[in-house]
Amino acid sequence: MNFLVLGTPFLLFMLNYDWPLSYAIKLVGAVFIIIGLAELRSQLKYEAKLKTLFVVFAFLCGFSAVLVQILRLLSVLGEMSKTVPLVADIIALLLWAAAVLIPLYAISMLYDVLDKNREYLAYTANLVKLEYTLKKICFVTIFVYISNVIYVLLPYRQTGDFFGVLMAIGKIILYILIIIASIRFFKVRSDYYQKAEDSEE
């Protein structure tokens, strides 16, 4: 359970779409989740496709980090052409869409697994609060991504700057929600270990 708690904020964290570091952070989160699922394999019943999803996502993040770095180099080399940077941005935004949306789906699946195994928790109130926070994170994350796309691709600078401000505000709200979700997930972890201790007595 410790690795699941550690991996979640890494998966949900958002930096810039064209930074290899953004994908590396999500790769770390995927690895932590995979370790956490392996750790709890004997306790929690979960679908095999959940672990497979995180493994595939980890490879995607590694591939994306390398490809985005290459695209950045091509954009620098193609400064004299408007087409090369635009194509690089579109590809990077598509990769970023996968890196942003897949974790939302994967985290929701992970929550469903915990929800189906409520008998392993001493209390369920924290799990319900975690679900409430994760739903907020989903909405804010999608809002930030859409604002990011408009900011990058919109040719009108003033309108683009407006969406850039919205994106910045959205990221601040997202970071706060991720911190709250991490605290609530930690409480769910505590409920899990408290139940295990009570069962041993």
Tokens encoding 109: 């699946």
Q: How far is CA 1 from the centre of its chain?
A: 18
- Report the range of poorest mean pLDDT among 80-94, 106-120, 180-194: 80-94
- Is the confidence at residue 2, as pLDDT, over 80? yes
Distance CA 11, CA 103 (A): 6
Domain range for 52: 2-200
Band the pLDDT of 88: cuts 50, 70, 90: confident
pTM, entire model: 0.86
Kindly report, residue by residue over 24-49, the tens digit of the pLDDT: 999 999 999 988 888 876 566 666 67
pLDDT at 42: 59
- Is the confidence at residue 59, as pLDDT, over 60? yes
When pLDDT is averaged across residues 118-128 and rounded to a whole number, the result is 83
- Identity of the residue numbered 71: L
- Is the confidence at residue 80, as pLDDT, over 70? no
- Identity of the residue numbered 1: M
Closest among 130, 139, 136, 137 to 110, alpha carbons compared: 130
Q: Which pairs with CB-CB distance under 8 Å and at least 24 residues apart come from 119-124? A: 120/43, 120/44, 120/192, 120/195, 120/196, 121/188, 121/191, 121/192, 121/195, 122/191, 122/192, 122/194, 122/195, 122/198, 123/191, 123/194, 124/191
Band the pLDDT of 138: cuts 50, 70, 90: very high
Task: Give the chain's domain count.
Answer: 1
pLDDT at 200: 56
pLDDT at 38: 83
Cα pseudo-dihedral 83, 170, 126, 51, rounded to 10: 0
Distance CA 12, CA 25 (A): 9
pLDDT at 117: 77
Question: Chain-wide mean pLDDT for the chain?
Answer: 85
Cβ count within 10 A of residue 8? 27
- Is the confidence at residue 171, as pLDDT, over 90? yes
Backbone torsion region of residue 112, taken as left when φ is above 0, otherwise alpha when ψ lies between -120 and 50, otherwise beta: alpha
Q: Which pairs with CB-CB distance under 8 Å and at least 24 residues apart come from 156-161? A: none
Distance CA 36, CA 28 (A): 12
φ, ψ (nearest 5 deg) of residue 78: -100, 30
